[in-house]
Chain A
Amino acid sequence: MLRLLLTRLLRLLPVTWGIVSVFFLLSRALPDDQLLARAIESQLDTGSRAITAPQRQALELQLRRRLGLDKPVFYFSIQRSATGGQSHWRWHGLRNQYHLWWLDVVRGELGRSYRDNKPVASLLIETLRFTLPFTAAAAFLAIGAALWLSLWMTRHSRWRSYLLTILYSLDALPLFVVALVLLYLLANPDMLALFPVYGFDNPEPTDTWLANVGSYLHHLALPVFSLVLITLPGLVTQLDASLQHELQTAYAVTARAKGLAFRQVVRHHTLRNALLPVVALVTDLLPAMVAGAVVVEVIFALPGMGRLLADAAAARDYPVLQGSVLLIASVRLLSHIVADGLYWQLDPRLRSQL
Chain B
Amino acid sequence: MLRIAKFIFILFIITECIACSGPKKHSGTIRIRWAQDPETLDPLAMANIYADEGLNLLHTSLLAFDNPKGQLIPWLASKTPVVRYKDSLTLITYTLRDGATWDNGQPVQAHDVAFTLKAMNCPGLPNEGIKVRLDFIRDIQFDPHDSRRFTLVCKGKSPDYIRESGNFFILPEYALDKVGTLRPISLTYLQHSDTVTLARNPVLSAFVSRYQAADLAHHPDRLPGCGPYQLEQWQSGQFLRFRRKSNWWATQLRPFPIQLAAHPKAIEYRIIPNPGTSLLALREGTLDVYPLIPAKDFNSLRASASARQKLNFYTHPSYEIVTLGFNTKQPLLEDRLTRQALSHLLNIPGLIQATEYGLAERTVGLISKRSRPYYNDSLPLLSYDPAQTVVLLQKAGWLRQADGNWFRRTVNGAAQKLAFTINYRANDPLFEQIGLQFQNAAKAIGIAINLKPTESSLLSARLREGSYDVYIRTIAGNPFIFNFAPILHTASIGVLNYTRFGTANSDKLIEAISAEADQKRKVLLLRKFQLLLQQESPLVPLFFLPYRLVASNQIANLQPSGIKPGYEVKAIITQPAHNSQ
Contact = CB atoms under 8 A, between A and B. Distances in A.
Q: Which of B129, B130, B456 has the most CB of A within 10 A?
A: B129
A34 B454 CA distance: 13
A303 B128 contact: no
B66 interface: no
B281 interface: yes
A116 B235 contact: no
A55 B11 contact: no
A301 B272 contact: yes
Given A211-B19, A217-B15, A46 B281 contact: no
B489 to A, nearest CB: 6
Contact of A49 (B15, B238, B460, B486): B486
11 contacts: A45-B477, A46-B483, A47-B319, A51-B486, A66-B128, A117-B40, A127-B237, A147-B5, A218-B18, A303-B237, A307-B273
B464 interface: yes
Contacts of A141: 5, 8-9
Given A39-B126, A199-B238, A298-B273, A218 B284 contact: no
A53 B493 contact: yes
A297 to B, nearest CB: 8
A217 B16 contact: yes
A126 B476 contact: no
A30 B460 CA distance: 12
Nearest to A56: B495
Interface string B9-39: 1011011111110011000000000001101
A196 B483 contact: no
B506 interface: no
B271 A51 contact: no
Given A46-B477, A116-B39, A117-B40, A183 B460 contact: no
A193 B1 contact: no
A300 interface: yes
Interface of B: 1-2, 4-6, 8-9, 11-12, 14-20, 23-24, 36-37, 39-40, 45-48, 123-124, 126, 128-133, 136, 158, 160, 164, 195, 215, 217-218, 233, 235-239, 241, 270-274, 276-278, 280-281, 283-284, 286, 304, 306, 319, 366, 456-458, 460-461, 464, 475-478, 480-487, 489, 491-496
- A-B pairs with lowest CB-CB distance, top 9: A144-B5, A303-B237, A50-B485, A214-B18, A34-B457, A218-B19, A214-B19, A214-B15, A31-B461
A43 B36 contact: no
Q: Which of A46, A210, A214 has the most CB of B within 10 A?
A: A46
B123 A62 contact: yes
Interface stretch (A7-15, A184-192, A250-258, A328-336): A184-192
A115 interface: yes
A177 interface: no
Contact of B238 (A45, A137, A224, A301): A301
Contacts of A224: 12
A91 interface: no
Contacts, number: 253
Contact of B164 (A39, A49, A59, A299): A49
Main secondary structure of the interface of B (DSSP, over half): mixed
Q: Which of B123, B195, B235, B237 has the most CB of A within 10 A?
A: B237
A141 B1 CA distance: 9
Given A32-B457, A140-B4, A299 B492 contact: no
Contacts of B493: 53
A147 B241 CA distance: 45
Contact of A66 (B5, B124, B487): B124
B128 A40 contact: yes
Given A40-B128, A118-B218, A137-B8, A45 B487 contact: yes
Interface in A315-330: 316
Nearest to A203: B24
A197 B129 contact: no
A200 B270 CA distance: 10
Contact of B24 (A45, A204, A300): A204
B483 A50 contact: yes
B483 A189 contact: no
B2 A147 contact: yes
Nearest to B270: A199
Contacts of B464: 33
Q: Which of B45, B164, B271, B273 has the most CB of A within 10 A?
A: B273
Contact of A300 (B233, B277, B319): B277
A202 interface: yes
Given A31-B460, A42-B46, A148-B2, A51 B217 contact: no
Contacts of A115: 39-40, 47
Contacts of B366: 46
B532 to A, nearest CB: 16
A106 B5 CA distance: 39
Contacts of B39: 115-116
A83 interface: no
A145 B491 contact: no
Given A53-B491, A143-B5, A148-B2, A221 B12 contact: yes
A38 interface: yes
Contact of B496 (A45, A66, A201): A45
Contacts of A19: none
A41 B495 CA distance: 9
Contacts of B486: 44-46, 48-51
Given A38-B48, A126-B236, A144-B2, A48 B481 contact: yes
A289 B9 CA distance: 18
Contacts of A279: none
Given A50-B491, A187-B280, A201-B24, A39 B239 contact: no
